[in-house]
Amino acid sequence: MTRVLKHLCDFHISVAVYYLEIYHSRGYMKNIYIPILLLCFSTTSLADEKRGKREVLLDNPDVEVVRLTYPVGTESGMHTHIHPNRVVYFVKGGTLELIPKDKQQKSKVINVSDGETLFLPTTTHNVKNIGNTEVVIVETEIKSS
């Protein structure tokens, strides 16, 4: 996902530079390249700093296992779990806010301990570490039943 976002940001920067060159050649903009490019790069890096880390440990036709690391204040970004059978094991527990995509549903705050295991349903949500400790999760999604 991070690679996809980086390519998307690179594409937008390329388009912005293209249009800046057109405007500059017509005399509309002078000496504005550097501030705009710095803004683009700083926005991209700020978005990356707020994201947790996702490492795929195993991915085959039957199962996907990922390690998710959420330092304090980071989040997953909105994403969808499409497989109905999902188990999460908390290597390092903490306090997480589960924010549903559907704004009519309420967010849920969970406090989990080290070693705790949960079965969670299919959902579209954002996970945010609102506690004061890093949270590390090993998540297993069964693709076939």
39's tokens: 């803004």
| Total count of domains within the chain | 2
- Residue 6: domain span: 2-49
Asked whether residue 58 falls in the same domain as residue 44, the answer is no
DSSP 71-116: -TT-B--SEEE-SSEEEEEEEE-EEEEEEESSTTSPPEEEEE-TT-
Within 13 Å, how many C-alpha atoms sit on residue 138's CB side? 10
Whether 90 and 128 share a structural domain: yes
**Span 125-140, pLDDT tens digits:** 999 999 999 999 999 9
Query: Would you give the end-to-end CA distance of the chain in angstroms?
Result: 26
Same domain, yes or no, for 121 and 136? Answer: yes
**Taking the CB of residue 139, how many other CB atoms lie within 10 A of it?**
19
Claim: this prediction has a pTM higher than 0.75: no
58 in the same domain as 12: no
Q: What is the pLDDT of residues 84-135, one digit of tens each?
A: 889 999 999 999 999 999 999 999 999 999 999 999 888 999 999 999 999 9
